[in-house]
A and B are shown apart, each in its own frame.
Chain A
Amino acid sequence: AQSVTQPDIHITVSEGASLELRCNYSYGATPYLFWYVQSPGQGLQLLLKYFSGDTLVQGIKGFEAEFKRSQSSFNLRKPSVHWSDAAEYFCALDITGTASKLTFGTGTRLQVTL
């Protein structure tokens, strides 16, 4: 069965510093890949998605992610973190060719220090 691993449960970065959140997946082919953000008390918001094509994907709020097939990874990056980026970030995949049945990772909680 497919799975998603987010190795970092909690990350703390200073405002203005760069950020990279790791995501690894297990699946025999290339799945559809997603990053979602969950602010406290809120639902999930889609940051970006990868279906095919260019392996560097741009998303909202200045985030980007790079798909690396050889490493089965889809890491999320941001060059300069803002205090408002503090939230929980989920990586997810779908193998059905749709976005209907997402398998989520356990999440990474980002804390931003001023």
Chain B
Amino acid sequence: NAGVTQTPKFRILKIGQSMTLQCAQDMNHNYMYWYRQDPGMGLKLIYYSVGAGITDKGEVPNGYNVSRSTTEDFPLRLELAAPSQTSVYFCASSYSGATEAFFGQGTRLTVV
């Protein structure tokens, strides 16, 4: 059982480049989340989804976009990378809003 899989694990981007962070879960979870973790800080919610075709903003959505075309996948898109987006990004999923969230291993992104 793979759980929550994030790719890539590491990436270096130049300012202004774009990229998509991939997240897939094989637990048939309805809810999926994207968080970012800055050094010395707790995780902050970027976007979340309660099911295919439904997404909503979290605490820090600016500079990001998401889509949820299938139950399994929840990609996070950075259109114009900025140094402020240097962070570790975690994807998570849960069966419902009231159940435990399972986290992926994270993607470490550096924007230079």
Interface residues of A, Cβ cutoff 8 Å to B: 4, 9, 41-46, 49, 90, 92, 96-107
Contact = CB atoms under 8 A, between A and B. Distances in A.
B77 interface: no
Given A100-B33, A101-B58, A43 B100 contact: no
A90 B100 CA distance: 15
B27 to A, nearest CB: 14
Nearest to B31: A100
Contacts of A105: 42
Contacts of A101: 45, 48, 58-59
Contacts of B48: 100-101
B97 to A, nearest CB: 3
Nearest to B105: A43
B97 A43 contact: no
